[in-house]
Structure 1
Amino acid sequence: MKLRIAPGDLTETVVDAVVNAANSSLLGGGGVDGAIHRRGGSEILAACRRLRETSLPDGLPAGQAVVTTAGKLPARWVIHTVGPVHSPREDRSQTLASCYREALRVAGEIGARSVAFPTISAGVYGWPMDDAVRIAVETVREVAARQESSAPGVEEVVFVPFGADAESAFRAQLST
């Protein structure tokens, strides 16, 4: 699995699937979630509403992932995952890592060969950037190592950092 950085706008990234740092309602919000819903159009919201009416009446739990259409985005699918809110008193790093594992699992199930990730939980959920990036890269590398020993799946992961701090953190982490 190839890992690369492509700073810019996640909603303009040309991949099979983009990952949405969603809130548990799946009905849109701020940050990445709002940008994906605005750019992708009403098809994404309609698909999320169907999920809420059927399999997710209580919303999507943190660390899990589901897929919908990408609407008007250049991607084919949006994989929604809910990151944990950072807490200095409780270690929620396994939940954050689960967001990446589950998104890649879903990507493999739908046949996505390329997946673009934002920095999950590092925005309004308050996760310190360097630690969020470390968890993202380590988790994707672990999934890649297991994948190579089992079955083919996702071939490329694109990290799409928002801002200079995120980009620097990804460059530093990927150089190790």
Structure 2
Amino acid sequence: MDDLSSLTESLRELATETVGRLAQAKCRIVFAESCTCGMVACELGKIPGVSEWLCGSAVTYRNDTKVRWIGVSAVDIDRHTAVSDPVARQMAAGVLDKTPEADLAVSITGHFGPDAPDGFDGLVFVGTCNRMDDGSVRCDARSFRMKSVGRQARQIEATQTVLRCLINALTLMRSTKD
């Protein structure tokens, strides 16, 4: 099995587990995707029963779209670049704000080349925001470095990373409610 086939099989397993975890938690999810171009929602959409939990995904690939669709600060994009912790947090917060039925939002922004600025090639940030019982929103972001080579392999690896972050977020949400 080649590397892409292995990545794809692992992705299918993660998507299935994620939908099961969303159902267990009775959690509705929305995404803001940049470098994955909607792949996270696409992979979840392949799993039967996901329509109860998946609200949608805003593919905000370009900076202006991030600003106009989900309210990311143009100043922060200029100051930190689109591939940054503040932008990942704002993407998740913005798409959650636009999706009142969602309990949790996850975002991803990254750079897969070519022509990535120095230090950015393969770097992604995943943001999460969840609604608390009191109506407040809690946001977090983490950075990851993709190890795969090639754009398609990196998009699959990044999608896996998002799903793992989502599984972790659902586990944390569940433990705080128990």
TM-score range for the pair, normalised by the shorter chain length? 0.3 to 0.5
Highest relative contact order (Cα 8 Å, sep 6+), 1 or 2?
Answer: 1
Q: Which has the higher helix share?
A: 2
